[in-house]
Amino acid sequence: MRSASRGGRIARGALVGLVAGGAGLAVGELVAVATGEASAPVTAAGNWAISITPTWLEQFAIRNFGSNDKTVLLIGVYVTLALAAAVDGVLARTRLTLASILTAVVGVVGAIAAVTRPAADTSWLLPSLLAGLAAALVLPWLTILSLKESEPSAEPSERRRFVLGTLGTAAGALVAGYGGDAWIKRRYDVSAARAKVVLPTPAKVLPRPPASVRPNVRGLRPFFTPTSQFYRVDTALTLPRVDPRDWKLKIHGMVDRPFEITFDELLSYRFEEHDMTLVCVSNPVAGPYLGNARWLGTPLAPLLRRAGVHRRADMILSTSTDGMTIGSPVEAVLDGRQAILAVAMNGEALPIKHGFPCRMLIPGLYGYVSATKWVTDLNLTTFAASDAYWTPRGYSPQAPVKTSSRIDVPASGATVPAGTVVLAGTAWATHRGIAAVEVQIDNGAWREATLAAADTPDTWRQWSYRWANASKGSHKVKVRATDGTGAVQTSAVQGVVPNGATGYHTITVQVS
């Protein structure tokens, strides 16, 4: 028999490396059935990667991949691991001990990545450690089988052993990996618990806003964003699954009377419905990262009063089960606005991805400083003493929503027939409200648009404008809003970092 060619040896080494790595990941997944989804090696590594992602890369990802950014990241983690495993497998043919040690080291690094996640406990070390150990055992075993099989004097039985060993391990890894994943999904599933939640009856039932909150213009978005279309922005690679029976909210820090409440206690409080538009700081001019919903929540202010917040405490540092930290001004909760702990959105218990069973909402502030999903801890502290997650990453500690406006109809670049062209869109300056919207055509005078009825100052306001005698050709249309305090939206162009993009949305329209 011929000995394997150089290419054949590399291919066998890479294959053995991949199978060993896959076996390791499968073992990690099975261990994570006990220790929790986010402790699984790939998830932990991905969450660690998110935590060290520089702000420019985070911005690039959100711009280019939007809500698919997490899939892109996971693919990145898998590709990196696969390359490393393949190279290690080739190395193993000449430096077996070294390659096996390197495999174990990758496991140790994964374990450190896992245990340093803010929500981790020491058990999170186990999946990656055992994954590394399994891979470091499979690698030498298959490598030795493969070296024997590649020798010129190899017996058919040695070939068979290599083929069966490799295929058998690969098949076992696939079954264990996918099985473990499915088992995790089932074990930690909270959709049944969510379906069982009986929503509290609001003390104040809000009437539906009048139909006139939305101009009757074809193609304009609905006033309330359907929950299925509501944007999602968070750092959670796997969704936190919080069983309401285990949920507790702790209020502590600079308070006289720290306390803890269960979900049932929370539901026994006074609940109110409130219409509010949630805006992400990462929303570029005219971007999609905002949505409007009817929320059901209990006011946060009475809970703070019950705790007795110290006069010097100016920040609520809220933490979610996945370790996100968000810093909000105490003043914004106590100044009379409807800051709430929400349990429902658009008439349904909060969807898991929007924070089930409970999230915080403060009108007028960007989500990253107010809208903690899966919230379980409110620590009263000071902006001077505490940094929330996004602060060291370049975002402002405090961030009211900036006055913004958007043209939704027609779409930029669209061709419309000459004559009267109907323009329509949305404007928001949450909590300050919108007092006026103006449009400008081809650097002409700013002309007042027709505002739809206002719902609350905390919601966006839709608008329309009849552009009479639009002449043939290409035109530029701009929009700007004035908020409830009389301040006109700034034309200064600024990016998302550090506290929200500004500038006017401008579109081109072809009139034919």
Ligand X SMILES: Nc1nc2c(c(=O)[nH]1)N[C@H]1C(S)=C(S)[C@@H](COP(=O)(O)O)O[C@H]1N2
Q: Which is nearer to ligand X, 124 or 231 (CB)?
A: 231
DSSP state of 245: T
What is the contact surface with ligand X in residues (CB under 6 A)? 230-236, 278, 280, 320, 322, 324, 354, 367-368, 371-374
- The residue sitting closest to ligand X, measured at its beta carbon, is 367
According to the binding rule CB under 5 A, does residue 368 interact with Mo ion?
yes
The full DSSP string for 472-485 is SEEEEEEEEEEETT
Residues 6+ apart with CB under 8 A from 189: 241
DSSP state of 255: B
Q: Closest separation between CB of residue 232 and ligand X, Å?
A: 4
Residue 295 binds what, of ligand X, Mo ion, none (CB under 5 to 8 Å, by partner type)?
none
Which of the ranges 57-65, 123-131, 183-191, 363-371 carries the binding residues for Mo ion, by CB under 5 A? 363-371
Q: Which is nearer to Mo ion, 29 or 69 (CB)?
A: 69
Residue 373 binds what, of Mo ion, ligand X, none (CB under 5 to 8 Å, by partner type)?
ligand X
According to the binding rule CB under 5 A, does residue 280 interact with Mo ion?
yes
Tell which one of 111, 184, 233, 276 touches Mo ion (CB under 5 A).
233
Q: Which is nearer to ligand X, 62 or 85 (CB)?
A: 62
Q: Which is nearer to Mo ion, 132 or 367 (CB)?
A: 367
Q: Closest separation between CB of residue 230 and ligand X, Å?
A: 6
Residue 217 binds what, of Mo ion, ligand X, none (CB under 5 to 8 Å, by partner type)?
none
Q: Closest separation between CB of residue 404 and ligand X, Å?
A: 14
According to the binding rule CB under 5 A, does residue 200 interact with Mo ion?
no
Q: Closest separation between CB of residue 51 and ligand X, Å?
A: 11
Q: Which tokens sit at 503?
A: 């500038």
What phi-psi label fits residue 137: left (phi over 0), alpha (psi between -120 and 50 degrees) or beta? Answer: alpha
Q: Which is nearer to ligand X, 368 or 504 (CB)?
A: 368
Query: Residue length, the chain?
Result: 512
Q: Closest separation between CB of residue 359 and ligand X, Å?
A: 7
Which of the ranges 254-262, 362-370, 416-424, 491-499 carries the binding residues for Mo ion, by CB under 5 A? 362-370
Task: Please report the sign of the dihedral spanned by the C-alpha atoms of residue 55, residue 496, residue 118, residue 307.
Answer: positive
Q: Cα dist. 387→194, 324, 499 in Å?
A: 32, 12, 15
> How far, in Å, CA of 354 to CA of 343, rounded?
10
Residue 234 binds what, of ligand X, Mo ion, none (CB under 5 to 8 Å, by partner type)?
ligand X
Q: Which is nearer to Mo ion, 146 or 283 (CB)?
A: 283
According to the binding rule CB under 5 A, does residue 367 interact with Mo ion?
yes
- The residue sitting closest to Mo ion, measured at its beta carbon, is 280
How many chain residues are in contact with Mo ion, going by CB under 5 A?
A: 5
Count CB neighbours of 483 within 10 A: 23
- What is the residue type of 378? L
Q: Closest separation between CB of residue 367 and Mo ion, Å?
A: 4
H or E, element range at 466 = strand 461-470
Q: Among 485, 498, 291, which residue's Cα sits nearest to residue 390? A: 498
Residue 372 binds what, of Mo ion, ligand X, none (CB under 5 to 8 Å, by partner type)?
ligand X
Q: Are 447 and 439 in contact (CB under 8 A)?
A: yes
Q: Closest separation between CB of residue 279 and ligand X, Å?
A: 7
Residue 235 binds what, of Mo ion, ligand X, none (CB under 5 to 8 Å, by partner type)?
ligand X
H or E, element range at 340 = strand 340-345
∠411-416-420 over CA atoms, to 5°?
A: 110
Q: Among 274, 430, 267, which residue's Cα sits nearest to residue 347? A: 274
Q: Closest separation between CB of residue 339 and Mo ion, Å?
A: 17
According to the binding rule CB under 5 A, does residue 399 interact with Mo ion?
no
Q: Closest separation between CB of residue 497 and ligand X, Å?
A: 13
> How far, in Å, CA of 52 to CA of 176, rounded?
30
> How far, in Å, CA of 86 to CA of 17, rounded?
5
Q: Which is nearer to ligand X, 332 or 507 (CB)?
A: 332
Q: How many CA atoms lie within 13 A of 243 on its CB side?
A: 7
Count CB neighbours of 46 within 10 A: 21
Q: Which tokens sit at 226?
A: 């359907």
According to the binding rule CB under 5 A, does residue 230 interact with Mo ion?
no
Which stretches of 78-179 are assigned E, i.e. beta strand? none
Q: Which is nearer to ligand X, 395 or 463 (CB)?
A: 395
Site for Mo ion, rule CB under 5 A: 233, 280-281, 367-368
